[in-house]
């Protein structure tokens, strides 16, 4: 029940941020709509394809797709209103990231996958919508360069899995604890601009140089 | 039967236009072949993966793959001949778009999906081959910026679904009506350069600026 | 047994080269990890999704994922050591390409697909990890421009399929023969810089020009 509510909040806020992202690339309304949908439900779609968990959520609940289209079109009418709420969206996005991660772990647990696959399932749900959005916009995915974004997802997945299996807490309490912890972690990372170290490798070898020029 | 014929026309003409597109990016013959195949049968492949409708068409009929490879190689031999037919290909491409859309709706109807999923199935079939081609060529997908391309697909899907379920017309008549309507719509859009409004959103906030520079 | 060993060698060396590739794009550690995983196991993942062969290898053996993460992190610590072994990795990469191709054909044979689908299965396994890596790094896939890379995979797939079905040789001997032949073919191509002809198509038509400028 909590998760269901968080899921709706998450996909709505992702569709709004996806719409704003598309607007920076001068796309037509259909392009905007597609980017919004991919950002919001692309992560779950990729997870369900990779782990073969059919039918996927939006196929069972196609009304969500309509709702997201409506939110996206509304955003194109009043983009500056939504942009002025960027602080709010930063928070909603953090909540969405954790909610997606927990939902991904949960769905993998239901299908009786082990620890590693459950964590991968959560992380795919959390971050691959954003990766697909950036590929469609022809950019290097932002998630590889943003403050502890994927890391927050990984930590939330591991924490939730452990609370679920190794404590007597009921599911709702586990969700809330994971949410509080993950949200604080993400907010602290944004506030202090924490990020993972960047791995830079430069090579002067001729054959590799030739590649990178292309 | 009509659909089957239209399908062959559609994949052949898409493989030829895909080959010409690849030729603009200086790829080797294998790259050209792959782009041609992705343009022609990528849309159906993505649809079947997302909606879990296996086995997909080219796995059941691998001879189509050979035929498309042959068309693509032929195109590399006489590209200027095919390019001189660009008016013809514009029309074949429009027929292909409608045929793909109808086939996608049909396949989803067979799997007993509802209205929204059927339309999504048709649109995925119609446009995602072109999106995959542009991602492989490292461009922002053209379909987001072209005259009413995706819109024609959506309208055709909705029209076909309604004719199929809410009129006593038989399937072939529904196909032909949808084809005539969709084809005229697309040709008018090209002729008068109709297109969807473009959503442009520019933001001077520092943190977002930083993103877009990357 | 031979194939199993070759598979481990292949994914480990692909994860190391994937890590070095990511390092040229200034990604954070998570991005590096993801690129390494995609390069190593992305090809098999895409094959299993397209041909609906679930569960995929890394879902059955999630310990491989941990092993690859470890290799990738190790590479970020001592990149110049691994880079100094570039000759070795060129060879390991060639072995990996052939091993992936054979594994792909084998898995399709087990699922009773015909000749064409088996070859496609092998080629997807061999090359699509590298394509996914290049898409994530926002480049035109290198495989379209590299010396006879995909061609070696195609030839190896055809050879292995023929040895398997049309000779009395046992499976291990077929693997070894294919490996020797494919490896020599690739090394000769690298040595003499053999490559497929490039198809270049330039068009001065106004409407097409407009597209390519975007």
Q: Note whether A50 contacts C55, CB cutoff 8 Å.
A: no
The residue in chain A having the minimum alpha-carbon distance to the alpha carbon of residue B207 is A86
Predicted confidence (pLDDT) at residue C184 exceeds the cutoff of 70: yes
pTM: 0.88
- When CB atoms are compared, the residue of B50, B52, B196 closest to A30 is B196
- Based on the number of CB atoms within 10 Å of its own CB, is C1 exposed (0-12), middle (13-18) or buried (19 or more)? exposed
- Test B62 with C151 for CB contact under 8 angstroms: no
Q: Which chains touch B (3 or more CB pairs under 8 A)?
A: A, C
- What span, in angstroms and rounded, lies between the C-alpha atoms of B33 and B74? 11
- Mean pLDDT calculated for residue range C28-52: 92
Tell me the DSSP string of B88-148.
Answer: HHHHHHHHHHHHHHHHHHHHHHHTT--HHHHHHHHHHHHHHHHHHHHHHTTS--GGGTSTT
Count of all residues that appear for chain C in the document: 214
Q: Which of B64, B70, B21, B23 is nearest to B45 (CA)?
A: B64
What pLDDT was estimated at residue B80?
Answer: 82
Contact assignment for B201 to A66 by CB distance below 8 Å: no
A138 contacts in B (CB within 8 Å)?
138-140
Please tell me the distance from the alpha carbon of residue A120 to that of residue A122, in angstroms, as a whole number: 5
Residues of B in contact with A45 (CB under 8 A): 50
pLDDT at C30 over 80: yes
Sequential pLDDT tens for chain B (214 residues)? 788 898 999 899 899 988 988 888 878 888 899 999 999 999 999 999 999 998 899 999 999 999 999 999 999 888 888 778 778 888 888 898 999 999 999 999 999 999 999 999 999 999 998 888 888 888 888 777 777 888 999 999 999 999 999 999 988 899 999 999 999 999 999 888 888 888 888 765 444 444 443 3
Whose CA is closest to B39, among B127, B114, B115, B124?
A: B127
Q: Which residues of C touch A208 (CB under 8 A)?
A: 24, 86
* Mean pLDDT, residues C193-208: 70
Determine, for residues B49 and A49 on separate chains, whether the beta-carbon distance falls below 8 Å: yes
**Closest Cα in chain C, distance from residue A81 (Å):** 30
Mutate: best of A15, A24, A189, A198, partner B, most B CBs <10 A: A24
What's the half-sphere exposure (Cβ side, CA atoms, 13 Å) at C159? Answer: 22
What distance in Å separates the CA atoms of residue A98 and residue A156, rounded to the nearest whole number?
7
Question: Looking at per-residue confidence, does A83 or A206 come out higher?
Answer: A83
Closest residue in C to A212 (Cα–Cα): C24
Q: How far is the CA of B112 from the CAs of A187, B51, B109, B118, in angstroms?
A: 45, 11, 5, 9
Note the pLDDT tens digit of each residue in C59-109. 999 999 999 999 999 998 888 887 788 788 888 888 989 999 999 999 999
- CA dist B134 and B141 (Å) reads 5
**Residue from C16, C23, C27, C73 to probe the interface with A (highest A Cβ count within 10 Å):** C27
- Contact across the interface for B24 and C202, Cβ inside 8 Å: yes
Residues of A in contact with C66 (CB under 8 A): 116
- Cβ pairs A/C, distance under 8 A: 88
Whole-number percent of chain C with pLDDT over 70 = 94
Domain ranges within chain A, ordered by starting residue: 1-192
Residue C171 pLDDT level (bands cut at 50, 70, 90): confident
pLDDT at A206 over 70: no
- For residue A212, pLDDT over 70 is answered with no
Q: Which of B27, B52, B55, B135 to mutate to test the interface with C (most CBs of C within 10 A)?
A: B27
């Amino acid at each position: 029940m909590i998760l269901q509510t968080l899921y709706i909040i998450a996909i709505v806020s992702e569709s709004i941020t996806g719409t704003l992202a598309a607007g920076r690339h001068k796309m037509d309304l259909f392009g905007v709509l597609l980017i919004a949908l991919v950002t919001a439900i692309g992560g779950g779609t990729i997870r369900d394809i990779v782990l073969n968990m059919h039918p996927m959520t939006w196929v069972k609940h196609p009304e969500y797709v309509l709702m997201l289209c409506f939110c996206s079109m509304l955003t194109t009418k009043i983009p500056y209103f939504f942009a002025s709420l960027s602080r709010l969206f930063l928070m909603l996005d953090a909540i969405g990231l954790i909610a997606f991660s927990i939902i991904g772990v949960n769905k993998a647990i239901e299908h009786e996958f082990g620890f590693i696959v459950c964590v991968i399932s959560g992380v795919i749900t959390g971050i691959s919508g954003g990766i697909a959005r950036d590929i469609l916009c022809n950019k290097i995915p932002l998630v590889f360069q943003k403050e502890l974004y994927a890391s927050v997802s990984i930590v939330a997945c591991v924490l939730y899995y452990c609370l679920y299996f190794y404590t007597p807490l009921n599911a709702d309490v586990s969700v809330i604890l994971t949410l509080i912890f993950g949200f604080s972690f993400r907010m602290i990372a944004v506030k202090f601009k924490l990020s993972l170290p960047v791995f830079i490798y430069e090579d002067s070898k001729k054959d590799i140089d030739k590649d990178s020029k292309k």
